[in-house]
Structure 1
Amino acid sequence: MTDGTFITLISVGVTFLFMLGVPVLLVIAYWVVGCSFVLGLTLDNMGAELLNVFNKGFALLAMPLFILTGDLINKSGIARRLSDFAYACLGWLRGGLAMASLGACGLFAAISGSNSATTATIGSMLHPEMVKGGYDERFSAATAAAGGTVGIIIPPSIIFIVYGFLMNLPISDLFVAGIIPGALMVIGMQVACWIICRINGWGYLIPLQLNRVLKTAFGAWLGFFAIGLVLWGIYTGKFSPTEAAGVTVGFCIIAGLVSWVLSRVMRQDPGRSWEDKSYAEMLVVEGFTLKQIPGITMRSAEITGILAPLIAISVVMQQILSLLGAQQVIGDFVTAMGGYYAVLFTAMIIVFVSGMVLESLPVTIILAPILAPIAASVGVDPIHFSVIFLVGASIGFITPPYGLNLYVASGVTGVPYFRLLKYTVPYLVALISVWVLVALTPELALFLLPDR
């Protein structure tokens, strides 16, 4: 048999393993090892390439730190305070609690940088509240899944770090470019949510009270400070993304430990409603103890232990695809489409279809080095294209058959995966509409960059 036949058989075999539920890391690793043998590449070469990825990947150090940040703000109770503030602002609208959960996803994403962490945290906190508030449990779970899509767009973003590392682009510029598109994604989903809730009459209304808004905003000050710290440091150039991640982790640890001590001194009861708490009590969150930090760190390390090998093996996969000529084939196909908009929308369709079956990380690592140079050749700004690419990849989080956020939401809410699909459609329409708007309007990504 020819090399092409062997590679085809290997590809079919790993696709079958993927359909059986074998982890993506192992599927890619099996394909890489098999193709390496067929092409006559040694395992020593693969090992050297895997090590080289991290030897030159200083920017990747920000990834585990931002993951740890998300776990710290969740454990400390800061995430709960952010969601309380969002509900105080939006609870007077029909579907206000669901819209607040989407807003809370945006606020949480502005600190954690992770889609799955955003979905899991907000879903576990607000899904029970939404069900008690008269929402359909399937819609509630789908809302948490959809809200998590902004986790990789609103800075800081783990996937923007990976994209910048691969394409040699300033990660700080990528972070800033994601602010407006990420906010538009949240607003678009909130509009879709409001329409669906009005049609179905879901949700109980609460009066809009200035005192409640001010009190919950005051109570969420630690979260706002953490968001401002990250954005200020990166936007002004005071911190690199990696340094910003380290500073934020340090702040969250100090805030969590001090808050735990103060909450015990003040005998704060987290279960009391906002009406019964004084401003002094609202100033302090639940916090955590020194003994809890190793457990929090271990959970973050487990997630990093999944992502880091996937990045490394996907880089080797990209090299093998290049040897096989796959990049040339895809590149010729996209280039043949013609001008600016034809190339741009063809690239968007490829990203969308790929996101239906793969997680955003392998999609980025495999396709970004192929599509980005082609887009640049027809005049698409590299920063603008990065936002277009990753917004499209984020939509894949709620697009079957893969839909990672749907699985996460199903796991934390107990609603079966297939029962969520119907209620993701309005959110998909909203996200795709925003995606097209961002693609057609470069200023939405480039406006906040001073040198663009």
Structure 2
Amino acid sequence: MTDGTIITLISVGVTIFFMLGVPVFLVIGWWVVGMSFVLDLPLLNVGAALSDVFTDGFALLAMPLFILTGDLINRSGIARRLSDFAYACLGWIRGGLSMAALGACGLFAAISGSNSATTATIGSMLHPEMVKGGYDERFSAATAAAGGTVGIIIPPSIIFIVYGFLLNLPISDLFVAGIIPGTLMVLAMMAAAFLLSWKNGWGVLIGLSFGRMVKTGIGAWLGFFAIGLVLWGIYTGKFSPTEAAGVTVGFCIIVGFLCLPLYKIMGRNEERPIEQRSYSEMLVVQGFSPIELPSITMRSAQITGILAPLIAVSVVMQQILSVLGAQELIGNFVTSMGGYYAVLFTAMAIVFVCGMVLESLPVTIILAPILAPIAHEVGVEPVQFAVIFLVGASIGFITPPYGLNLYVASGVTGVPYFRLLPYTVPYLVALISVWIIVALVPELSTALLPNR
């Protein structure tokens, strides 16, 4: 049996395992080990590569810290205050609660940097409210799934950290470059939610109240401070993304510990309607006790334990693909397309198709080192291509058959996966429209970068 036949059998085998629901880490790991035997590569190389990722990747330290930040702001009640503010601003418009859910996703993403955390948090909080407000439960769940896509675009972003680590780009520049595209994604999805809600008459309107907006804005001040702290520190260069993650975690822990006793003294004000709370009560969030911190940290560690090994084994996969000539094959295909726009849109098509069947992490680790240099050769600015690449990868979160956010939303709302799919179409149209605009207008990605 020839090596080519064995490679084909191994690849088909792990593909079947993936389709049967075997975790991606194990699928890639089995493929890497099998390829190592076929190509006579020492297994020591696998262990060395895994070790190098964790010992030399200082930038990757930001990943578990931002994951922990998302859990802390959710448990402390800051996420709930951000969603209350978004609803106060948009609840008077037809479809306002769905638009508020998307706005809350954007605000939560600006602290957590995770798509799944954004979908799970906002979905679990606002899905019941939307159903009670007259929205179709399938649309409500699809809204949470779509809103989570901005979790990896609006800074800070876990996947931007990985991309910068792989391509040796300043992570702070990538963070800043994601601000405008991420905002456009939220606005486009809001427009889709408004049109669909207006067409179906969904949603119970609340009166436009400047007082409610001010009160909920005061209630969300800790969230705004955390967002501002991260963006200010990274944009001004006061601290690196990794240091920003550490500072944000420290801030959230201090807030959680200090607010809990005040929250109890004030009579657990979160249980009363906003109109019945005083302005002083709105200043204090629910918080959490030191006893709860280990369980919160453990949950974040579990997510990190899934992502970090996947990054490491995907790096080895990338090396083996290089030995097999796959990177050169893809590179030659994309290069053969011709000029600037042909190469750019071919690369986007590849990212979109791969995003339909793979999570953004392996898509980034495998394809970014192949496509980014080719795009640079035809004149695409590296930071702009990073944004284009990752906006495309984020769309994969609501694109079947994989659609990670759809599974997350289904899990937290109880709406079956396949029942969500029709209601993702308007959001897909909105996101793809923004993706094309971002690709055609480089200034949307580079305008806010320092020294530009």
Superposition TM-score tier, normalisation by shorter sequence:
over 0.9
Supply the AA of the counterpart residue of 1:312.
Answer: A
* Aligned residue runs from structure 1 range 69-108, under 5 A: 69-108=69-108
Cα distance in 2, alignment partners of residues 269 and 193 from structure 1: 31
Cα distance in 1, alignment partners of residues 378 and 321 from structure 2: 24
Supply the AA of the counterpart residue of 1:149.
Answer: T
Cα distance in 1, alignment partners of residues 31 and 396 from structure 2: 23
1:450, CA displacement in angstroms? 2.1
1:267, CA displacement in angstroms? 2.1
1:265, CA displacement in angstroms? 2.1
- Residue 383 (1) aligns with residue 383 (2): yes
Question: Residue 292 of structure 2: SS of its match in structure 1?
Answer: helix
Deviations 1:151-180 (A, max 9, x none): 000000000000000000000000000000
- Residue 116 (1) aligns with residue 116 (2): yes
Question: Residue 445 of structure 1: SS of its match in structure 2?
Answer: helix
1:57, CA displacement in angstroms? 0.1
Cα distance in 2, alignment partners of residues 96 and 191 from structure 1: 11
Supply the AA of the counterpart residue of 1:178.
Answer: G
Cα distance in 2, alignment partners of residues 413 and 55 from structure 1: 39
Look up the match of 2:45.
45
Cα distance in 2, alignment partners of residues 122 and 49 from structure 1: 37
Runs of 4+ in structure 1 deviating by more than 3 angstroms, as ranges, are none
Question: Residue 270 of structure 2: SS of its match in structure 1?
Answer: coil
1:270, CA displacement in angstroms? 1.3
Cα distance in 1, alignment partners of residues 49 and 270 from structure 2: 50
1:362, CA displacement in angstroms? 0.1
Cα distance in 2, alignment partners of residues 54 and 451 from structure 1: 32
1:100, CA displacement in angstroms? 0.1
1:2, CA displacement in angstroms? 1.4
Cα distance in 2, alignment partners of residues 3 and 388 from structure 1: 37
Deviations 1:239-273 (A, max 9, x none): 10000000000000000110101112222331101
Q: Is the 8 A contact 2:153 2:391 kept in 1?
A: yes
Cα distance in 1, alignment partners of residues 146 and 45 from structure 2: 41
1:42, CA displacement in angstroms? 1.5
Look up the match of 1:406.
406
Deviations 1:180-214 (A, max 9, x none): 00000000000000000000000010011000000
Cα distance in 2, alignment partners of residues 72 and 142 from structure 1: 25
Question: Residue 47 of structure 2: SS of its match in structure 1?
Answer: helix
Cα distance in 1, alignment partners of residues 360 and 278 from structure 2: 44
Q: Is the 8 A contact 2:269 2:281 kept in 1?
A: no
Look up the match of 2:328.
328
Cα distance in 1, alignment partners of residues 154 and 184 from structure 2: 10
Look up the match of 1:282.
282
Supply the AA of the counterpart residue of 2:189.
Answer: M
Look up the match of 2:165.
165
Cα distance in 1, alignment partners of residues 308 and 108 from structure 2: 22
Supply the AA of the counterpart residue of 1:146.
Answer: A
Cα distance in 1, alignment partners of residues 369 and 377 from structure 2: 13
Cα distance in 1, alignment partners of residues 269 and 383 from structure 2: 47
Structure 1 runs not aligned, ≥5 long? none
Cα distance in 1, alignment partners of residues 30 and 45 from structure 2: 16
Supply the AA of the counterpart residue of 1:211.
Answer: G
Cα distance in 1, alignment partners of residues 287 and 333 from structure 2: 54
Cα distance in 2, alignment partners of residues 55 and 252 from structure 1: 27
Q: Is the 8 A contact 1:268 1:281 kept in 2?
A: no
Supply the AA of the counterpart residue of 1:12.
Answer: V
1:409, CA displacement in angstroms? 0.1
- Give the TM-score taking structure 2 as reference length: 1.00
Q: Please, which moves more after superposition, 368-377 or 40-49?
A: 40-49
Cα distance in 2, alignment partners of residues 239 and 207 from structure 1: 43
1:19, CA displacement in angstroms? 0.5
Look up the match of 1:18.
18
Cα distance in 1, alignment partners of residues 45 and 267 from structure 2: 60
1:334, CA displacement in angstroms? 0.1
Deviations 1:79-117 (A, max 9, x none): 000000000000000000000000000000000000000
Look up the match of 2:271.
271
Look up the match of 1:356.
356
Cα distance in 2, alignment partners of residues 198 and 256 from structure 1: 39
Supply the AA of the counterpart residue of 1:383.
Answer: V
- Give the TM-score taking structure 1 as reference length: 1.00
Cα distance in 2, alignment partners of residues 87 and 270 from structure 1: 16
Q: Please, which moves more after superposition, 327-336 or 41-50?
A: 41-50
* Aligned residue runs from structure 1 range 235-246, under 5 A: 235-246=235-246
Question: Residue 284 of structure 1: SS of its match in structure 2?
Answer: coil
Look up the match of 2:425.
425
Structure 2 runs not aligned, ≥5 long? none
Cα distance in 2, alignment partners of residues 434 and 27 from structure 1: 33
Look up the match of 1:436.
436
* Aligned residue runs from structure 1 range 152-301, under 5 A: 152-301=152-301
Question: Residue 139 of structure 1: SS of its match in structure 2?
Answer: helix
1:33, CA displacement in angstroms? 0.4
Look up the match of 2:65.
65
Question: Residue 287 of structure 1: SS of its match in structure 2?
Answer: coil
Q: Is the 8 A contact 1:90 1:100 kept in 2?
A: yes
Supply the AA of the counterpart residue of 2:373.
Answer: P
